[in-house]
Chain A
Amino acid sequence: MKAAAFAYARATSVVNALELLAMHGDKAKVLSGGQSLMPAMNLRLLSPDILVDIGGLAELRGITVRGDLLVIGALTRHVDLLRSPEVALHARLLRDAVAHVAHPAIRNRGTIGGSLAHADPASELPACVVALDATIVVRGSAGERRITATEFFRGIYETALLPDELLVAVEVPVAGQASTFFFQEYARRHGDYAVVGLAARAVVAAGRFSALRLGFFAVGDRPLLAAAAGKLIDATVTPALLAEAAAALADELDPQEDQQATAAMRRHLATVLLRRCVAALLARPELETGVGK
Chain B
Amino acid sequence: MNAPVPVSLLVNGEPIDAFVLPRLNLADFLRENLKLTGTHIGCEHGVCGACTVRIDGEIVRSCLVLTVQAQGASVETIEGLSDSGEIADLQAAFRERNALQCGYCTPGMLITAQDLLKHVSVPDRRAIREHLSGNYCRCTGYQAIVDAVEATAMTRAERGA
Contacts and interface: CB of A to CB of B under 8 A. Distances in A.
B133 A103 contact: yes
B28 interface: yes
A257 interface: no
Interface stretch (A45-53, A163-171, A199-207, A209-217): A45-53
B127 to A, nearest CB: 11
A50 B46 CA distance: 22
A1 B44 contact: yes
Contacts of A279: none
Contact of B66 (A5, A34, A50, A79): A34
A144 B55 CA distance: 34
A99 to B, nearest CB: 9
Interface residues of B, number: 34
B64 A108 contact: no
Interface in A33-51: 34-35, 38-39, 42-43, 49-51
Contact of B134 (A31, A55, A105): A105
Contacts of A157: none
Given A103-B134, A104-B134, A105-B49, A7 B1 contact: yes
Interface in B117-144: 129-131, 133-135
A65 interface: no
Nearest to B1: A7
A15 to B, nearest CB: 21
B30 interface: no
Given A39-B46, A55-B69, A105 B25 contact: no
Main secondary structure of the interface of A (DSSP, over half): loop
Interface in A178-213: 189-191
A147 interface: no
A2 B116 CA distance: 30
Nearest to B63: A42
Contacts of B58: 79, 108
B133 A191 contact: yes
Nearest to B3: A7
B16 interface: no
B157 interface: no
Given A8-B66, A55-B69, A189-B133, A108 B45 contact: no
B36 interface: no
Interface string B60-76: 11011110110100000
A104 B59 contact: yes
B1 A50 contact: yes
B23 A4 contact: yes
A268 interface: no
A55 B71 CA distance: 11
B68 to A, nearest CB: 5
B22 interface: yes
A200 to B, nearest CB: 23
Interface in B24-67: 25, 28, 44-46, 49, 52, 58-61, 63-66
B49 to A, nearest CB: 7
A10 to B, nearest CB: 8
B89 interface: no
A191 B46 CA distance: 12
Nearest to A77: B58
Contact of B2 (A5, A53, A79): A5
A42 B116 CA distance: 28
A34 B5 CA distance: 19
B1 A39 contact: no
Nearest to A37: B64
A53 B67 CA distance: 12
22 contacts: A3-B23, A6-B22, A7-B1, A8-B5, A8-B22, A31-B66, A34-B66, A35-B64, A38-B25, A38-B45, A38-B63, A39-B46, A42-B64, A51-B66, A103-B135, A104-B59, A104-B131, A105-B49, A105-B59, A106-B64, A109-B60, A109-B65
- Give the 7 A-B CB pairs with smallest separation, nearest first: A103-B134, A8-B22, A7-B1, A39-B45, A38-B64, A105-B59, A108-B58
